[in-house]
């Protein structure tokens, strides 16, 4: 009798888990989610095409790594956040080390505050400069997926900054991407600092290229 009860209990647990999982997989997406998923898919297709065909990409220069379709998490709107840009009282120039050991100078421009599971996380925004292109703004970070599902050095997210202190920015981690050194050691890229670690798993954006 005990064996039968144990078997019945186990069967109920398995059926309940399977049903819940099936319901989750078959959840009907909202029109907003469908539209967003299509937008992200188009952006990723364009990014893959650029990486495959552009002569300056790591797949066509400095060793020419064989191209394979890039890997991504499924688009997930849970990893979209809103925040004002908070400026530091003192704008510091900080030294960032690269994967080849050289130092680079960046301006620690400001930061965003995002809330995840009732905890506030701070994201530094850095300003850099590229000759012939000009100034640019980036977030680079590590998180709880780093060196697991995602590239071991970290990932990047570009930001467009506007001259409005009250502007509310969208921080969309589905747009995060790998630096070129994720594909080829011939490239050098900035390493996120310890203070740029985000203390939860960001299961959005690009995954690591090599298993």
pTM of the entire predicted model: 0.84
The domains of the chain are located at 67-196
pLDDT tens digit at each of 211 positions of the chain: 444 444 334 433 333 433 344 444 567 889 999 999 999 999 999 999 999 999 999 999 877 789 999 999 999 999 999 999 999 988 899 999 999 999 999 999 999 999 999 999 999 999 998 888 889 999 999 999 999 999 999 999 999 999 999 999 999 999 999 999 999 999 999 999 999 999 999 999 999 999 8
With contact defined as beta carbons under 8 Å apart, do 138 and 130 qualify? no
Residue with tokens 């300003």: 127
Encode pLDDT of 69-112 as tens digits: 999 999 999 999 999 999 998 889 999 999 999 999 999 999 99
pLDDT on residue 192: 97
With contact defined as beta carbons under 8 Å apart, do 138 and 157 qualify? yes
**198: its two tokens:** 């985000």
User: What does the alpha-carbon distance between residue 29 and residue 196 come to, in Å, rounded to a whole number?
Assistant: 33
User: What does the alpha-carbon distance between residue 36 and residue 72 come to, in Å, rounded to a whole number?
Assistant: 15
């Amino acid at each position: 009798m005990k064996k039968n009860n144990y078997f019945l209990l186990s069967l109920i647990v398995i059926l309940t888990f399977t049903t819940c999982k099936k319901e989750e997989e078959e959840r009907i997406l909202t029109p907003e989610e469908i539209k967003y998923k299509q937008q992200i898919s188009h952006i990723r297709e364009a990014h893959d095409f650029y990486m495959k065909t552009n002569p300056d990409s790591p797949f066509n220069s400095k060793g020419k790594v064989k191209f394979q379709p890039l890997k991504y998490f499924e688009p997930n709107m849970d990893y979209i956040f809103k925040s004002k840009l908070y400026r530091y009282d003192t704008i510091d120039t900080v030294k960032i080390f690269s994967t080849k050991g050289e130092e680079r100078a960046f301006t620690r421009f400001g930061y965003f505050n995002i809330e995840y599971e009732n905890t506030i996380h701070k994201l530094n925004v850095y300003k850099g400069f590229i000759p012939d292109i000009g100034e640019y703004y980036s977030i680079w970070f590590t998180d709880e997926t780093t060196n697991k599902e995602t590239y071991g050095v970290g990932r990047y997210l570009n930001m467009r900054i506007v001259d409005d202190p009250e502007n509310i920015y969208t921080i969309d981690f589905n747009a995060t991407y790998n630096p070129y050194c994720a594909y080829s050691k011939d490239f050098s890229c900035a390493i996120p600092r310890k203070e740029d670690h985000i203390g939860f798993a960001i299961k959005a954006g690009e995954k690591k290229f090599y298993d």
